[in-house]
Homo-oligomer: A and B are copies of this chain.
Amino acid sequence: MNKFGLLECTLRDGGYITGWKFKDDMIKDTISALTESGFDFVEVGYLNNKSDANNTTQFRKISDIADFLPSKRDKTTFLAMADVLQFLPEDLTPYDGRSIDGIRVVFYKHQIDEALRLGKAVSENGYKLFMQPMVTIDYNIDEYVALAEKIAELNPFAVSIVDSFGYMLKSDFRRYFRVLDNILPENVVIGFHSHNNMNLALINAQDILDYQSSRNIIIDSSLYGMGRGAGNLQTELIADYYNKTLGEKYNVNIVLDLISKYILPISQSKSWGYSPYFFITALYHCHPNYASYLLQEHNVSVSEFRKYIESVPKEMYTKCRKPYVIELYEKFKSGEQIE
């Protein structure tokens, strides 16, 4: 990669839309086309030691991914994500050059210890290690400094700033970037992963491309923004903006052909993208699934939804399980009727 690289994560983060069900042929074709388009990194799915099916981007073993990768790798680095609850240090097999090159370890703030253990094992097994602390803005600066110092000891390839809830402003990203830039060894790459709940993903990505730093940087995106809630940074937008401002590098026509063949057909029956409901979850710093789960079960107007979100206790903003979301709504409704 040059100073800036793009990481395509449709098969992983877009997978939330289909429950990671994608046809094997589609998976192969997508990886191959993204490689041909020139993406620096392609994330092909999750590692999940419980997975046992075909036609999914949840892979049980690292070696299961090898057959999906193109024989000619060009300059692309292939990655899979490992959630600390779904893939353990003992599930790792040593790097042999035939499957993925790196593993992105993803974790919440209460899972730092498990993440550091898994991260250490990833490095020791010869893979490029990417550390992905979700809801980065949930860490205050002291906590983030402490986290960065611990991660630095693991010899990571990259550490990402993750705007899971889609409300981080340019100034927020810059603040967390400065911490990482000060603490991490200069060869460690800094990554950015963002969501569009407030339509901020491209804004932040454009700003990142203006950073005055010698640090190498990676930006995540997905085709047509396919992803949870309002979705991710759109690959076609950041690739086109990169080409226009930093020089032609990515083949946008291939990107559009993938959207045409695979992604737009999915969007006919499953929806993602900007909506007032996700704007509201971001406005209140809540998990977007408060909207997704509630709207699956109830017809709730935007005005009512805003009042409902106001009723969420602060300590539950990042914790979002469906039964809780529904139960809280029923409490909220009965409270309204009593008034």
What is the interface of chain A, defined by CB distance below 8 A to chain B? 169-170, 198-200, 202-203, 206, 224-225, 234, 236-237, 240-241, 244-245, 252-253, 256-257, 259-261, 264, 273-274, 276, 279-280, 283, 301-304, 306
Contacts and interface: CB of A to CB of B under 8 A. Distances in A.
A264 B276 contact: yes
A89 to B, nearest CB: 40
A279 B237 contact: yes
24 contacts: A169-B241, A169-B244, A169-B245, A170-B206, A198-B237, A199-B234, A203-B203, A224-B276, A234-B274, A234-B279, A237-B279, A240-B283, A253-B306, A256-B276, A256-B280, A256-B302, A256-B303, A257-B302, A260-B276, A260-B303, A260-B304, A264-B276, A273-B273, A273-B274
Q: How many copies does the complex hold?
A: 2
Interface SS, A side: helix
B302 A260 contact: yes
Given A260-B301, A260-B303, A302-B264, A236 B279 contact: yes
A276 B274 CA distance: 14
Contacts of A276: 224, 236, 256, 259-260, 264
Residue from the set A225, A234, A256, A304 with the largest chain B CB neighbour count within 10 Å = A256
A251 to B, nearest CB: 12
Contacts of A279: 234, 236-237, 240
A170 B224 CA distance: 22
A200 B202 contact: yes
Contact of A202 (B199, B257, B302, B306): B199
A303 B240 contact: no
Nearest to A261: B303
Contacts of A252: 283
A257 B303 contact: yes
A73 B57 CA distance: 58
